[in-house]
């Protein structure tokens, strides 16, 4: 497996509302030699490529990033587009804009040589693509997402680029069984899962037994996992259950990263594992935490 990072890129672009862009670093326009050196000096093998504008300086960005990754012997990483949550919008204009953005991301990923590009299901909540809304679990929204994703995957087949779906409790893809159902409904060999189990912590029962959650993914879609995002979570003392993201390896962190890494090693041995959602100053602590878990379980990074 390849250990990389979604971060360490200076964030100079406008953040996408409702998305942790700042914590994940800046835009592909900000990836330069200093960034690549920082990624390597932190002990990572690669860095995620985040795209805000698919047309601005496109040729120059592709050529620069390909040169830098090749020159520093870095495998090309997953790409992620800042297209918001429009794939399930009731407005067909917004929906088509999001679909076309994903098609542009597929072309960019192909030209970069990326293994996959990230698919964000979105939300009906206008405040952000990862915020909850009562309609997110409705059949009409599900059908919209299936239809949007089918069109994207049909296009992906022409370019040979895999589509890495991410889900979470606040969006239409809210559980392992819904991931499986979604794959069945879309029915595309290009569509797979970007494992990010923290997003699916839906209750105290799940929080205190994340092993079952993780193993459910590996059991239901073992051959459809394209990579993973690495982070952790903790339970906050409160009357109403509340969860917050935390640093891998912290004493309060609860995710079974052993189960996650062992499953990834078995079912996605050549995939990426990207540490994410942390400011630059905390990334080394997460790196230390995930390295410790890997070492204790005889898991080696590529």
Check pLDDT > 60 for residue 19.
Answer: no
Decide if 207 is inside a domain: yes
Decide if 33 is inside a domain: yes
CB 120 within 8 A of CB 83: yes
Decide if 302 is inside a domain: no
- Supply the range of the domain harboring residue 233: 2-296
Decide if 62 is inside a domain: yes
Task: Return the pLDDT at 146.
Answer: 99
Decide if 301 is inside a domain: no
The tokens describing 64, both together, are 């620069």
Check pLDDT > 70 for residue 188.
Answer: yes
Strand 272-275 with 191-195, pairing: unpaired
Where is 198: in which H helix or E strand?
none
d(CA 162, CA 128): 25
d(CA 149, CA 163): 9
DSSP designation for 16: P
DSSP designation for 134: G
Q: Which range has the worst mean pLDDT, 19-23, 83-87, 162-166? A: 19-23
Give the dihedral sign, CA 245/145/122/26: positive
Task: Return the pLDDT at 26.
Answer: 85
**For 224-279, how does the pLDDT look when each residue is reduced to its tens digit (9 = 90+)?**
999 999 999 999 999 999 999 999 999 999 999 999 999 999 999 999 999 999 99
CB 261 within 8 A of CB 232: no
d(CA 301, CA 78): 17
Decide if 215 is inside a domain: yes
**For 30-71, how does the pLDDT look when each residue is reduced to its tens digit (9 = 90+)?**
999 999 999 999 999 999 999 999 999 999 999 999 999 999
Mean pLDDT of 120-138: 97
The tokens describing 83, both together, are 């297209």
Q: Which range has the worst mean pLDDT, 11-20, 38-47, 114-123? A: 11-20
Report the candidate in 51, 49, 50, 44 with the shortest Cα–Cα distance to residue 74. Answer: 44
Decide if 93 is inside a domain: yes
Task: Return the pLDDT at 15.
Answer: 45
Report the candidate in 197, 193, 195 with the shortest Cα–Cα distance to residue 163. Answer: 193
Specify the number of domains making up the chain.
Answer: 1
Decide if 131 is inside a domain: yes
d(CA 56, CA 50): 13
Q: 164 φ, ψ to 5°?
A: -105, 100
% pLDDT > 70, the chain: 95
Q: Which of the pair, 35 or 25, is modelled with greater confidence?
A: 35
CB 137 within 8 A of CB 173: no
CB 129 within 8 A of CB 82: no
Give pTM, 2 decimals: 0.94
CATH number at residue 62: 3.20.20.150
The tokens describing 97, both together, are 């804009």
């Amino acid at each position: 497996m390849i250990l990389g990072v979604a971060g360490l890129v200076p964030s100079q672009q406008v953040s996408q509302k409702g998305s942790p862009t700042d914590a994940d670093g800046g835009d592909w326009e900000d990836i330069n030699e200093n960034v690549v050196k920082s990624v390597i000096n932190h002990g990572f093998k690669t860095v995620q490529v985040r795209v805000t504008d698919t047309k601005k300086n496109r040729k120059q960005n592709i050529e620069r990033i390909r040169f830098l990754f090749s020159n520093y012997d870095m495998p090309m990483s997953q790409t992620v587009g800042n297209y918001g949550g429009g794939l399930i919008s009731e407005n067909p204009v917004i929906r088509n804009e999001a679909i076309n953005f994903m098609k542009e991301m597929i072309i960019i990923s192909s030209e970069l040589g990326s293994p996959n590009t990230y698919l964000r299901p979105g939300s009906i909540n206008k405040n952000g693509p990862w915020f909850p809304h009562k309609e997110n679990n409705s059949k009409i929204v599900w059908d919209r997402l299936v239809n949007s994703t089918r069109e994207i995957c049909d296009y992906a087949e022409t370019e040979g680029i895999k589509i890495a779906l991410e889900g979470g409790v606040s969006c239409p893809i809210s559980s392992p069984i819904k991931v499986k159902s979604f794959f069945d409904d879309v029915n595309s060999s290009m569509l797979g899962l970007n494992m990010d189990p923290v997003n699916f912590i839906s209750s105290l029962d799940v929080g205190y037994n994340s092993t079952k959650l993780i193993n459910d993914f590996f059991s239901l879609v073992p051959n459809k996992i394209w990579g993973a995002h690495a982070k952790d979570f903790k339970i906050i003392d409160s009357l109403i259950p509340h969860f917050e993201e935390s640093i891998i390896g912290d004493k309060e962190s609860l995710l079974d990263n052993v189960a996650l890494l062992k499953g990834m090693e078995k079912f996605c041995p050549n995939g990426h594992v990207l540490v994410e959602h942390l400011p630059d100053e905390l990334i080394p602590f997460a790196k230390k935490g995930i390295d410790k878990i890997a070492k204790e379980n005889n898991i080696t990074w590529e």
